[in-house]
Structure 1
Amino acid sequence: MSKLTVSELTNKIKNILENSFTGPVSVVGEISNYSVSSLGHCYFTLKDDNAQIKCVFFKRYRILLRDYEPKNGDKVVVTGDLTVYEKDGLYQIIVKKIEYDSVGDFYKKFEETKRKLEKEGFFDSDLKKEIPKLVKRVAIITSPTGAAIKDFIRTIKKNSVNMIVDIWPAPVQGDDAIPIIIDQITKINNFVDYYDILILMRGGGSLEDLSIFNDEFLARSLFHSKIPTISAIGHERDFTICDFVADLRVATPTAAAEKVSEYYVTIEEKIDNLTKHLIKEMEYKLMNNLQYLDTLDARIQKNSPYQKVRTKIQEITLMERKILENLKSSLFQNEKIVVEYLRRIERENPMYKLENFNIKVDQFIKNMKTILLGKLEVLNNRVDSMMNSLNLTNPENILEKGYAIVLQDKNPVVSVNSVHLEDELEIKMKDGYINIFVTGKKVRRK
């Protein structure tokens, strides 16, 4: 039995699959995990109840789809070529056309449940219980290991809120989670006098991940809770039936933490403001009293005999200081005059003049060398530039950059019009030649 590499096996499967479907295929299914890349290409999964297949919808085909924008949950007819993406070893459809078939089963069920419960009054704002301002104890139904509860607790700690948070663990994905969540809601309602609020919480996810929160029986259980309820499911853009049924819907688990912290943060701000105001008033009164004491002390000091003697001593000291400063100033001025005379005598010295002349000669020689070296460098740069220009125009060098020269009978082909169908041509490249036959040509119109 021969051995195959992964690439060889995948290539054989690709050939078998693509040769079995020689033309486009049309497939009906529901869109899931729809995303658009930065280049404008779309990737999604087409599925039904028992199977799914990856699909790629390239931008050049997508721009032709003007009247319909695909989205998750839509039931569509996809037409395209069946192929194998060898890198991942997956078979997929290269989509060329998408036709809107109907709203997906997910949205159908969602809308049916929503209309039914809305008709029964489950969404009426008048029936919603008020969320307490001061929350001391909260029951949270969520996954104890999920990111949602971590975000909630992190926000509670950040806001320095002192409340009891009890986690009632439950899976938050899959149909098996529904009876468990309902059972937890029932158990929590045995502690009506203990808990202030009940929060049903889950982080973000796909529509399928959040679908359990559209269950009619779960929504009914949440509605009949005697404890005020908050729905904190998914992200801000996500809406479920439980969001409509709950007494309050918040966008995220973090937003739920901000909501229950609201009163604490407000009270803390009020206390801070009152404290600052009290401190400011005390400082103001203390400052006024200190200023009054300073005024009294100044009067006493002004009329004191000791202060008068001290003032006279300060006046005498000031006069002595001024006399000394005047003497120092006179000495400094005389010293400057003597130094200036000495400098004049030194400048008239012949040796000093000769030294200055030698310095000027040396500077002149340096300047001449600098000028000559500069001109020589300019000439060298000009020669280098000419050599580079010659190299750039050398056809052999152009071939090194990935270009090629088309030859016919050893002569370069410069026009499409000089070539005819079935002519034999040579393509000269940097490392050899390629022989080709002309099978078609296209003249560029001016």
Structure 2
Amino acid sequence: MKKFTVSELTKLIKRLIEKNFTSSINVVGEISNYSVSTLGHCYFTLKDENAQIKCVYFKRYRLQNLDYEPKNGDKVIITGDLTVYEKDGNYQLLIKKIEYDSIGDFYKRFEETKRKLEKEGLFDTENKKEIPYFVKRVAVVTSPSGAAIKDFIRTLRKNGANIEVDLWPAPVQGEDAIQVIINQFSYLNQFTNSYDVVVLMRGGGSLEDLSIFNDELLARAFFACKIPTISAIGHERDFTICDFVADLRVATPTAAAEKLSEYYITIGDRIDNLERHLIKEFEHSLIMKHQYLDTLEAKLLKNSPINRIKQKIKQLEIYENSISSLLKHKLSVREKNLSDIIQRIIPHNPVERLLHSYSIVDNLLKIIESIMVAKIQVNKDKIESYITLLRLLNPENILDKGYAIIIKDKNPVGSVKNIHLEDELEIRMRDGYINSFVTGKKIWRK
């Protein structure tokens, strides 16, 4: 049996698919998870009730179809080429044209359910229960193996929230999860005196992953929960039906933990403020006591024999300073007389001749310095000529003659073998660069 590498197998699958789909095809489906990259390329999922396929809509084709801007939930007719992206091993559609067909089935069902429940008052503010400020015990309906419950508990601990958390396990994805969650809400209604809050939680996902939270029966069970409810389904941009019927909707499980921690954070701040106030009052009292002690000490010193002795010591210091000043004055007069005598002797001092010799040496040093500067300038001119020669030999100067440098991942490419289909390249020319997408390549055979 032949052994294939992953690359060989992927290339074989790519050839099989592209061999059977040699021309563009039309595909009908609903847009989901639509996003635009910084380069202007669009990526999304095209789906129906049973399957989905990834799509790439490059900027150059978008600019040719400006009459329609795709968005999530639209049902569209796609014209494009079926291919395999070898790096990920996924088959995908390279879109050339998108035509709007209608609102997608997913969004249509979502809007119908939303309008129906809204009309019945399930979204009304007056029907929403108030979330307690001081929470002691909370029930969390979520998957026990997901990251959501871990993030939730980690945030409570970080905020010092002394909240008892009971996990009511339930899958949070797939149609089978709906009835399990409904049953959990039904059981929870028997524990209205045990819990302060119920949190329905999931750590994000695509619109398809969150679709169970748009189920009408699940939303009704969530609304019927007698305990105040929080929806933390982890999707900041989009809302689910459960978000609308919940007593409070937050964007993520972490945000739910932050909301429930508010009392504990506030009480912690109040304790800190009281602690600072007590410390301030104690310091103020201590300062007053010190001031009182200083006053008593001053009175004691004023009437103490020690103070009289200190006054006599100060008088002695005054006499000492006066005598010292007189001696310094006489010494200064003597120093001036000595200085005058030295000034008269200096003109006849041999040191003057030595200073003259120093002047001659300084002149010679200046001459030597001038010669050295001239030589340095000659060497500098030579170096500049070498630099000019190096610039003439710079390989990038060849760009002025109409050639180009191919850059991939910030590195020059020297061989076609280093380039793969669908790579994004930068073609650097004399006055700028061009971003290019590889749609084909050919290697010269020697």
- TM bin, normalised by shorter chain, reads 0.7 to 0.9
Aligned pair 1:181/2:181, yes or no?
A: yes
C-alpha distance in 1, partners of 2:133/2:388?
83
Q: CA deviation at 1:41?
A: 0.7
Correspondence for 1:302: 302
Structure 2 counterpart of 1:373: 375
- Cα deviation per residue 1:141-162 (whole Å; 9 max; x = unaligned)? 1223322222222222222122
Amino acid at match of 1:254: T
Separation in 1 of the partners of 2:350 and 2:61?
A: 94
The alignment-based identity, stated in percent, is 60
Paired letter, 1:143 = S
Q: Following TM superposition, by how much is the alpha carbon of 1:136 offset from its aligned partner in structure 2, in angstroms?
A: 0.9
Q: Distance in 1 between matches of 2:6 and 2:250?
A: 50
Alpha-carbon deviations, 1:268-308, whole Å to 9, x = none?
Answer: 22233233334333433443343244334323433444323
Q: May I ask how many residue pairs the two structures share in their alignment?
A: 401
Conserved 8 A contact 1:347-1:353? no
Measured after TM superposition, the shift of residue 44 of structure 1 is 2.0
Amino acid at match of 1:247: D
Are 1:93 and 2:93 matched, yes or no? yes
Using the alignment, how far apart are the partners of 1:329 and 1:188 within structure 2? Answer: 102
1:104 is aligned to 104
Aligned residue number for residue 82 of structure 2:
82
**Residue aligning to 2:125:** 125
1:154 corresponds to = 154
Q: Specify the SS of the correspondent of 1:207.
A: coil
Letter in 1 for 2:381: L
The code of the aligned residue for 2:124 comes to: D
TM-score (norm 1): 0.77
Structure 1 residues 399 and 35, CA, compared in 2 at 3 Å: closer, same or farther?
Answer: closer
Q: Which residue of structure 1 lines up, in the alignment, with residue 171 of structure 2? A: 171
Q: Provide, for residues 342-371 of structure 1, a one-character-per-residue CA deviation record: whole Å limited to 9, x for no partner.
A: 995897426633651464155224412321
Q: Which runs of 5+ in 2 are unaligned?
A: 405-446
Change in CA separation of 1:32 and 1:292 when aligned onto 2, cut-off 3 Å:
same
For residue 372 of structure 2, what is the amino acid of its counterpart? Answer: T
What is the letter of the counterpart of residue 38 of structure 1? T
CA–CA separation in structure 1 for the residues paired with 2:242 and 2:74: 22
* Structure 1 residue 280 corresponds to structure 2 residue 280: yes
Q: Is the 8 A contact 1:210 1:234 kept in 2?
A: no
Write the letter of the residue equivalent to 2:171: P
2:230 maps to which residue?
230
Residue 9 of structure 1 and its aligned partner are, at CA, apart by 6.8
Q: 1:278 to 1:46 in 2, by over 3 A?
A: same
For 2:290, the equivalent position in structure 1 comes to 290
Partner amino acid for 1:70?
P
Q: How does 1:4-153 map to 2 (within 5 A)?
A: 14=14, 17-18=17-18, 20-153=20-153
What is the Cα-based RMSD across aligned positions, in Å?
A: 3.6
Aligned-pair CA distance for 1:189: 2.9
Deviation at 1:321, TM superposition (A): 4.5
* Equivalent residue, structure 2, for 1:435: none
| 1: CA distance, partners of 2:186 / 2:249 | 20
User: Counterpart in 2 of 1:440?
Assistant: none
TM-fit CA distance, 1:379: 3.1
Tell me whether 1:311 sits opposite 2:311 in the alignment: yes
In the alignment, the residues of structure 2 paired with residue 282 and residue 9 of structure 1 have an alpha-carbon distance, to the nearest angstrom, of 79
Alpha-carbon contact 1:137-1:165 (below 8 Å) kept: yes
Question: Does the 8 Å CA contact 1:135/1:197 hold for their aligned counterparts?
Answer: yes
Which string of whole-angstrom CA distances, capped at 9 and with x for unpartnered residues, describes residues 386-426 of structure 1?
A: 6457768x9xx94999839xxxxxxxxxxxxxxxxxxxxxx
Matching residue's letter, 1:53: I
Per-residue CA deviation, residues 296-341 of structure 1 (Å, 9 max, x unaligned), is 4323433444323322312322442564466468758967986994
**1:356 equivalent in structure 2:** 358
| Distance in 1 of aligned mates of 2:153 and 2:338 | 84
Unaligned runs of 5+ in 1: 405-446
Other structure's SS at 2:290 match: helix
CA contact (8 A) 1:25 1:81 kept: yes
For residues 399 and 128 of structure 2, the distance between their equivalents in structure 1, rounded to whole angstroms, comes to 78
Q: Distance in 2 between matches of 1:150 and 1:337?
A: 93
Q: Write the distance in 1 (CA, Å) between the matches of 2:195 and 2:5.
A: 63
Cα deviation for residue 134 of structure 1 reads 1.1
Paired AA for residue 61 in structure 2:
Y
Deviation at 1:77, TM superposition (A): 0.8
- Shift in Å, 1:29: 0.8
Relative to structure 1, is the Cα distance of residues 363 and 262 closer, same or farther in structure 2, using a 3 angstrom cutoff? Answer: same
Query: What is the alpha-carbon distance in structure 2 between the residues aligned to residue 373 and residue 264 of structure 1?
Result: 79
Between 204-213 and 337-346, the greater mean CA deviation after superposition: 337-346
- One-letter amino acid of the counterpart of residue 302, structure 1: K
Task: Give 1:35 shift.
Answer: 2.4
Distance change (3 Å), C-alpha of 1:261 and 1:391: closer
Match of 1:411 in 2: none
Q: How far apart, in 2, do the equivalents of 1:390 and 1:225 lie?
A: 81
Larger CA deviation: 226-235 vs 76-85: 76-85
Q: 5 Å matches for 1:191-210?
A: 191-210=191-210
